[in-house]
Structure 1
Amino acid sequence: MFKLAKNGNILMDVASASPPSAAFVVEALERSPYADCAIDHESIAAYFKQDTPAAQLIVGQQKDAHIEVALSEDKMQAIARLTTAQGGKMISLEDAKRAIVKVGVTRGYKQVYLENLLKQQLESPPGSEVTGIVAQGRPPENGTPAKLMPHVQTLKERLKQPKLREDGTVDMRDFGALASVAPGTLLVTQRPATPGKEGFTVTGDSIAPKPGDSFQLMAGEGTEISPTNPLQLVSTIAGCPSDIPNGMRVDDIFTIADVNVRSGHIEFSGSVLVTRNVDPGMKIKAHGDITVMGTVESGELISDGNIEVRGGVIGHLDHSNDDQGLTCRLIAKGDVQITHGQYTYLEGQNVFIQKQSNHCDIKARNLLQVGLDESPKGKLIGGTIFDAKMLVAGEVGSSSGATMAIYLARSGMEITERTDLCLKELSQTDEQINNLQKAVEKADHVKDAEKKKTLLAKIGATQQHYCKQAEALEHQLSELDHTLHDLLDNTQLVVNTSLHSGVEIHIFDKVYKTTRSYPPCSARLIEGKIEIEFKM
């Protein structure tokens, strides 16, 4: 009934007997040896519409399998689309390989990918399309950043490990012997950054990895870089090690139970540990860290390192001063960490308040956080935030609507002032360069050749000086602009519980005053305007 033509068409002999219907033809073809071939429904339908039917009817066509290979947009994958055969030849492994090479694949090819795809010719229905990855590029592996590997216990780590009593309870005021080191002790080793591992596309292009961030190992006071290994830091004196950015220092430690009228004010070149309290009116000044295990009441603590107070920090308004300042002050070049504060001035790189701040004036050069954990829930009530880059708290303001002011990115004002000064200097430099150019033009008219040569050399040297100055100013302007944008992009107020009315939020030179209470939200500068974004 059916036969295969040389061109691949499947023919039905209808000269002797005309088939009764198109359905009959399709059913007969599906039961024949040519059942896998593509059915030509249009040809069959046209046959039954003709007034004078032809002697032969094209009912189908034998089609070979077909494969197309395309590259992903980033050239990290080669993806093959295989159309299975319909009564025709299957794609061989070698033919498929040639199709892959034809599109430019040189790396990342694995034969097992292709074999799994070609296997579908036996498992999928005739004429179906299947796709699969036949080559896979490798993304670059970025390098790991440099890291400090400490070999000694610092004072900060020691204070996290109170002494265990015989009855199993913990003595929160006894931390055992001070962590001390002898001269020549290995303090820390720098694990160098790694360059990463190069990646590649399926077309053979290399993809450079991002090297890990590196930093210079810093030798603080009482330490030095090892003369035998530039990645190691060793102590030069006996004392207690403390962390500093990218390194360590070794301090002498002064330990005292209470700072009161009996002890007098404390001023020490190393670190100070107060195992109990600091009484009203007392002062501590240290080049190292200051740690108070008890409370500080109307005292003043000034540190070139970090300040930590395990108890409360309590002051009051100093009515003896015209500005009604606060009687308790904690100022650190490093971080300030307290449990709770009241009527206290706090200043540090980062300021951490575990529970609550009542009417405190705070200046944090980077982060102010009120509360613990990843989503702090501490309360920030009253007072003034003079400057911070990021403020995170649970509750900000009070339900009574009492006013308080929060100034974020205040340092941006200083950046704009420096930018204005830099622009003024650049303008003056450009004016000098223009005047020198006029001087060159005048010098060209000097008839005395020797005098002209001397004059042009002098002008040229001055021009070079001002050109270098202009280049330096332009570089400085670019850095200031980048610093300002980075500051504003990363400045944010995050409130995890509620933001009350009466809070004045200043971000750079913009102001937003809350007139109602808000649920958990954040405030940041977007296109020159302070926007409040609510958390989902």
Structure 2
Amino acid sequence: MFKLAHNGNILMDVKSASPPSAAFIIEALEKSQFADCEVDHDSIDAYFKSDFPESQLVVAKQYDAEFTVTLSDDKMQAFGQLKTARGGKTIALEEAKKVIIKAGVSRGYKQAYLEKILSKQFELPPGEEASGIIAQGRPPQDGQSAKLLPHVQTLKERLKQPRMREDGTVDMRDFGKLASVSPGDLLVTQRPATPGKEGFTVTGESIEAKAGESFQLMAGEGTEINPSNPLELIATIAGCPSDIGNGMRVDDVFTIADVTVKSGHVDFNGSVVVTHNVEPGMRVTAKGDITILGTVESGELVAGGNIEVKGGVIGHVDHQNNEQGLTCKLSAKGNVEIAHGQYTYLEGENIFINKQSNHCDIKAQRLVQVGTGEHPNGKLIGGSIIDAQMIVAGEIGSGSGAKMMIYLARKGIQITEDTDTLFKEVAATNESLDQLQQAIEKAELVKDTEKKQQLKTKIGATQMHYCQQAEQLEKQLYQLDHDLHELLEDTKLSANKALHSGVEIHIFDRVYKTTRSYPPCTASLQDNQVKIDFKTAGN
């Protein structure tokens, strides 16, 4: 009844016996060997409508299985799409592989993925589609940054672990015996940065990995790089280890209960720990860190490292001083951290005040932060910020509108003064070069050849000197311009709860005076003006 033509059509001989209906043809097809072929309903319908039907009727068409490959936009995945055969041939594994190769897939291919898709030919009905991943690229794995692995407990870590009393309470003034090391002890090991592992696309292109950041292991005072292992830092003296940037140092540590008139002032080459208080009029000076577990009242602390006061620092206006200075002063080359401050002068790289600052004069190289956590909410009331690059607090100023002066990026003024000086030097250098050019022109008029050459050689050497000087001045000008831009870009005041009236904000050489209280906001230099930007919810 049915036969297969060379073009895949399924033909029915209707010349000898005309079928009674389309339903009859379809039912006969379903019982024949061509049951899986795609029925050509249009051809069958046309036959029954035609006045002059053909002698052979196309009733169905045979289709082989189809397999195609597509790539993701980033070429990190290749997908195989299968359409099962409709009476035709299934697609063999080797044929499918050729399609994959033709699509440009060269890496990340797994035959198990392909076999899983092709197996659907024997599970799905004819003409159904199936798809799946046949190749997977590999994203690059960035390298790990270098890291310090400490082998000893530092003073700072020790002070985070107060001792437990027998009754279960914590003695916040007792931190046990000071950690100490001996010469030759291993302090810290540097885990080197790793280069990362490159990735690849399914088409074989390599994706470069980002290498981990590295740094130079730093040997502070009392330490050295291990001569037999450049990744190890060892102690050279007995003492207490302290963290420094990318390394450690070892200090002799002086510990005292109270600094009083009885003890006298403390002046020590290493670090100092005061387990109780510093009384009025007393001074503590240390080349290393100063740690006060109690309070400081009208005292003076000067540290070559960091200063940390677990309690408050309290002073008052010194009326005996014509400048009306403050009686309590803390100055550190590193950071200063206190619980709260009142009428105190604070100076350091960064100033951290955990709760509140009342009428303090503060000078920081970088950050003044009042409050703790990711969104500090401490109060910065009265006093003045003599200089800083960034201020972060909950409230700045007071609700009464009392005047408060804040100076940010004052070092920018010095940069501009240095720039002006350099411009004058550049002008003078250029003038000297012009004069030397005139001298060369005059030398050309000298008739004596030998004398002319001597003059030109001498002038040329001087010209070379001034050219090098001009080049050096240009480099210095570029650096100053870069420093100023970087300084101003990072300068900002941030009030997480309120910025009150009466606050006079100086950023570089621009001024903004608050005349009302603002909700959470920031102040920064934009378009050469101090502008206030209000924070949105969640920021």
1:289 Cα offset (Å):
0.9
Identify the range of structure 1 (191-200 vs 61-70) with the bigger mean alpha-carbon deviation: 61-70
Identify the range of structure 1 (234-243 vs 122-131) with the bigger mean alpha-carbon deviation: 122-131
1:336 Cα offset (Å):
0.8
Instruction: State percent identity of aligned pairs.
Output: 68
For the residues of structure 2 that align with 1:43 and 1:319, how far apart are their CA atoms?
Answer: 112
Number of the residue aligned with 1:146: 146
Number of the residue aligned with 2:533: 531
Q: Tell me the SS of whatever aligns to 1:113.
A: helix
Q: How does 1:15-26 map to 2 (within 5 A)?
A: 17=18
Establish whether residue 314 from structure 1 lines up as the match of residue 343 from structure 2. no
Kept in 2, the 8 Å contact 1:399–1:500? The answer is yes
Number of the residue aligned with 1:339: 339
Number of the residue aligned with 1:175: 175
1:397 Cα offset (Å):
3.6
After superposition, the Cα gap between the structure-2 partners of 1:154 and 1:441, relative to the gap in structure 1 and judged at 3 Å, is same
For the residues of structure 2 that align with 1:129 and 1:444, how far apart are their CA atoms?
Answer: 91
Kept in 2, the 8 Å contact 1:363–1:388? The answer is yes
Q: How does 1:60-99 map to 2 (within 5 A)?
A: 61-99=61-99
Identify the range of structure 1 (337-346 vs 66-75) with the bigger mean alpha-carbon deviation: 66-75
Number of the residue aligned with 1:295: 295
Number of the residue aligned with 2:246: 246
Number of the residue aligned with 1:257: 257
Q: Tell me the SS of whatever aligns to 2:108.
A: coil
For the residues of structure 2 that align with 1:4 and 1:179, how far apart are their CA atoms?
Answer: 93
Kept in 2, the 8 Å contact 1:144–1:212? The answer is yes
Q: Tell me the SS of whatever aligns to 2:233.
A: strand
- C-alpha offsets along residues 236-263 of structure 1, whole Å, 9 cap, x if unaligned? 3333222221222222222333223333
For the residues of structure 2 that align with 1:340 and 1:280, how far apart are their CA atoms?
Answer: 17
Kept in 2, the 8 Å contact 1:507–1:530? The answer is no
Aligned length: 535
- C-alpha offsets along residues 381-427 of structure 1, whole Å, 9 cap, x if unaligned? 33333444443333444344445454444444445555555566566
Q: Tell me the SS of whatever aligns to 2:354.
A: strand
Identify the range of structure 1 (428-437 vs 246-255) with the bigger mean alpha-carbon deviation: 428-437
Identify the range of structure 1 (339-348 vs 407-416) with the bigger mean alpha-carbon deviation: 407-416
Q: How does 1:54-453 map to 2 (within 5 A)?
A: 54=54, 58=58, 61-123=61-123, 126-127=126-127, 130-321=130-321, 323-418=323-418
- C-alpha offsets along residues 119-160 of structure 1, whole Å, 9 cap, x if unaligned? 444455655555443333333322222222223222222222
Kept in 2, the 8 Å contact 1:144–1:193? The answer is yes
After superposition, the Cα gap between the structure-2 partners of 1:134 and 1:54, relative to the gap in structure 1 and judged at 3 Å, is same
Tell me which amino acid in the other structure corresponds to 2:221. E
Kept in 1, the 8 Å contact 2:295–2:312? The answer is yes
For the residues of structure 1 that align with 2:380 and 2:163, how far apart are their CA atoms?
Answer: 33
Q: TM-score, normalised by structure 2?
A: 0.82
For the residues of structure 1 that align with 2:136 and 2:490, how far apart are their CA atoms?
Answer: 37
Q: Tell me the SS of whatever aligns to 2:391.
A: strand
Q: Tell me the SS of whatever aligns to 1:276.
A: coil
For the residues of structure 2 that align with 1:475 and 1:143, how far apart are their CA atoms?
Answer: 35
Kept in 2, the 8 Å contact 1:64–1:84? The answer is yes
1:114 Cα offset (Å):
2.7
1:6 Cα offset (Å):
1.9
Tell me which amino acid in the other structure corresponds to 2:94. E
Q: TM-score, normalised by structure 1?
A: 0.82
- C-alpha offsets along residues 145-203 of structure 1, whole Å, 9 cap, x if unaligned? 22222232222222222233333333322333332333333322323222223333334
Identify the range of structure 1 (447-456 vs 388-397) with the bigger mean alpha-carbon deviation: 447-456
Unaligned stretches of 5+ residues in structure 1? none
1:283 Cα offset (Å):
2.3
Q: Tell me the SS of whatever aligns to 1:101.
A: helix
For the residues of structure 2 that align with 1:33 and 1:493, how far apart are their CA atoms?
Answer: 84
Q: Tell me the SS of whatever aligns to 1:534.
A: coil
For the residues of structure 2 that align with 1:61 and 1:433, how far apart are their CA atoms?
Answer: 93
Unaligned stretches of 5+ residues in structure 2? none
Q: Tell me the SS of whatever aligns to 2:167.
A: coil
1:113 Cα offset (Å):
2.9
Identify the range of structure 1 (325-334 vs 508-517) with the bigger mean alpha-carbon deviation: 508-517
- C-alpha offsets along residues 475-514 of structure 1, whole Å, 9 cap, x if unaligned? 5555555555554554454444444455555555566665
